[in-house]
C-alpha cells in the first residue's frame, strides 16, 4: 500500500460515505465547518461556495480511486508531469514510457501523447504527507509532495554510524536503540567528556579509521566523531560533534574540544551539525577540530610509535538571543 493510501486512511478513517470532499485552502487550515456532519449533496454545495471565494479548487476525494489513476501501472510510483498516455487513453509515467515501446495494458504503440487532463486534476489535489503515520499533519499540494517528503522534519533519520553504509532509518528513539544494540555503542550521560584515543599504527592513516561516542545531555543526544583521513597528502585527525535531531535544534547548542600535550593545546569551538548532514560532508567542510599527524604524535608524548590523544570536550546550550 502506498503512503498516499495510508495517509488518507488515517485522516478519513471515520468517514461514513464513499465520496466525501474535504476542502483545504492554500494554507492547509482546517475546513471552516464540520463537513462530516453534512449530507453529500450539502457538501458539494458547500464546496463550490468555498471554491468561489478562493477562486481555486483544492480538494481530496477519499476512496474515489483517484490515487490508482495517478499510479503508474508499470513502476507503481505516483506519476508527475509529463504524464503519458497511449492512443487508447491508458496512462503511464514518463520514465516508464521511455523504457517500454508498447502500452502495458492494451499493447498498442505508445506515441508522444501527454495526458493534460490528469495532470490538471492532480494539480488540484492536496495529499497527506507520506510521513503522516510518523506525526506530520501537513496537507501537501500534489506536485509539492516529493519536495516536502525530502525536507519533512518527520522523515526518518538515517543511521549516523560512519563505519558502514548502514541502511537503518528510524525516529530518534529507534535510532538510539539501534546504535546501542546493533553498533554496540555506549551512551554517556553528561555535558563534559574526556576521551582517549589510542592507535597502535599511526603511520597507516586511512580513510576508514574512525570512532563514534554517544552523549546524552540537555535531554538530547549527541555523537562525537573522531576520524583519521588525508587532506592532500597530509594525514590528519579530526574530531567533531553531531546532534541527533534537526538542524534548527542543533543550532541551539555549542561545543568545544581540546587536544594537547607538552604544554601545548589546540581548542575548537563549534556548533553541532545535525545528523541530517552526512558525517563525510561535515568532515569535508572541515567543521571540527583538525590535528595534523605530526602534531598529534607530538601530543602523544612518546616515540611516535603509538598515537595517544586525549580529547576534552563540553557541550552547552546557547543562551544568547533568548
Ligand atoms: Zn512508471
Ligand atoms: Zn493502452
Ligand atoms: Zn511531512
Ligand atoms: Zn546503523
Query: What is the model's pLDDT at position 24?
Result: 34
Please give the domain boundaries of the chain with CATH numbers for all domains. 3-151 (3.30.40.10), 184-317 (2.60.210.10)
Using 50 as the pLDDT threshold, list the residues of the chain that sit under it: 1-57, 61, 63, 207, 322
Query: Residue 215 in contact with residue 190, Cβ under 8 Å?
Result: yes
pTM of the model: 0.69
The residues whose Cβ lies within 5 A of ligand 1, an ion, are 72, 74-75, 93, 96
Query: What is the model's pLDDT at position 205?
Result: 61
Among residues 300, 173, 313, 298, which one has the least CA distance to residue 240? 313
CA of 96 to the centre of ligand 2 (A): 13
Rounded to whole angstroms, the Cα distance separating 305 from 203 reads: 8
CA of 77 to the centre of ligand 2 (A): 18
Burial class (CB in 10 A: 0-12, 13-18, 19+), 38: middle
> DSSP assignment of 65-103, as one string?
SHHHHTB-TTT-PBP-SSPEE-TT--EE-HHHHTT-SB-
DSSP code at position 156? P
CA of 98 to the centre of ligand 1 (A): 9
CA of 297 to the centre of ligand 4 (A): 31
CA of 86 to the centre of ligand 2 (A): 5
H helices present in the chain, as ranges: 3-11, 40-54, 66-69, 94-97, 116-123, 145-151, 172-181, 247-250, 279-284, 293-300
Rounded to whole angstroms, the Cα distance separating 101 from 70 reads: 20
Query: What is the model's pLDDT at position 289?
Result: 97
CA of 180 to the centre of ligand 4 (A): 9
Query: Residue 132 in contact with residue 11, Cβ under 8 Å?
Result: yes
Amino acid at each position: 500500500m502506498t503512503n498516499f493510501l495510508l495517509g488518507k486512511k488515517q485522516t478519513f478513517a471515520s468517514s461514513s460515505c464513499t465520496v466525501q470532499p474535504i476542502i483545504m485552502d492554500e494554507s492547509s487550515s482546517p475546513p471552516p465547518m464540520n463537513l462530516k456532519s453534512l449530507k453529500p449533496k450539502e457538501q458539494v454545495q458547500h464546496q463550490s461556495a468555498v471554491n468561489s471565494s478562493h477562486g481555486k479548487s483544492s480538494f481530496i476525494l477519499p476512496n474515489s480511486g483517484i490515487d490508482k489513476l495517478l499510479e503508474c501501472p508499470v513502476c507503481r510510483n505516483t506519476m508527475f508531469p509529463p504524464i503519458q498516455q497511449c492512443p487508447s487513453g491508458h496512462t503511464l509515467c514518463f520514465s516508464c514510457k521511455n523504457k517500454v515501446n508498447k502500452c502495458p495494458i492494451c499493447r498498442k504503440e505508445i506515441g508522444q501523447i501527454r495526458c493534460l487532463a490528469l495532470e490538471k486534476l492532480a494539480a488540484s489535489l492536496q495529499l497527506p504527507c507520506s510521513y503522516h503515520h510518523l506525526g506530520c499533519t501537513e496537507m501537501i499540494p500534489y506536485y509539492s509532495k516529493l519536495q516536502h517528503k525530502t525536507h519533512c522534519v518527520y522523515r526518518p533519520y538515517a543511521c549516523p554510524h560512519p563505519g558502514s553504509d548502514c541502511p537503518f532509518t528510524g525516529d530518534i528513539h529507534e535510532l538510539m536503540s539501534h546504535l546501542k544494540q546493533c553498533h554496540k555503542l555506549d551512551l554517556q550521560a553528561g555535558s563534559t567528556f574526556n576521551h582517549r584515543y589510542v592507535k597502535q599504527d599511526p603511520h597507516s592513516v586511512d580513510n576508514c579509521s574512525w570512532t563514534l561516542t554517544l552523549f546524552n545531555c540537555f535531554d538530547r543526544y549527541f555523537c562525537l566523531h573522531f576520524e583519521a583521513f588525508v587532506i592532500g597528502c597530509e594525514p590528519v585527525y579530526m574530531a567533531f560533534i553531531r546532534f541527533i535531531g534537526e538542524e534548527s535544534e542543533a543550532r541551539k547548542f555549542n561545543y568545544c574540544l581540546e587536544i594537547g600535550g607538552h604544554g601545548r593545546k589546540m581548542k575548537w569551538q563549534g556548533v553541532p551539525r545535525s545528523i541530517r548532514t552526512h558525517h563525510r560532508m561535515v568532515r569535508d567542510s572541515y567543521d571540527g577540530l583538525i590535528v595534523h599527524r605530526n602534531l598529534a604524535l607530538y601530543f602523544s608524548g612518546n616515540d611516535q610509535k603509538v598515537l595517544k590523544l586525549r580529547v576534552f570536550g563540553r557541550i552547552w546550550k546557547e543562551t544568547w538571543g533568548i
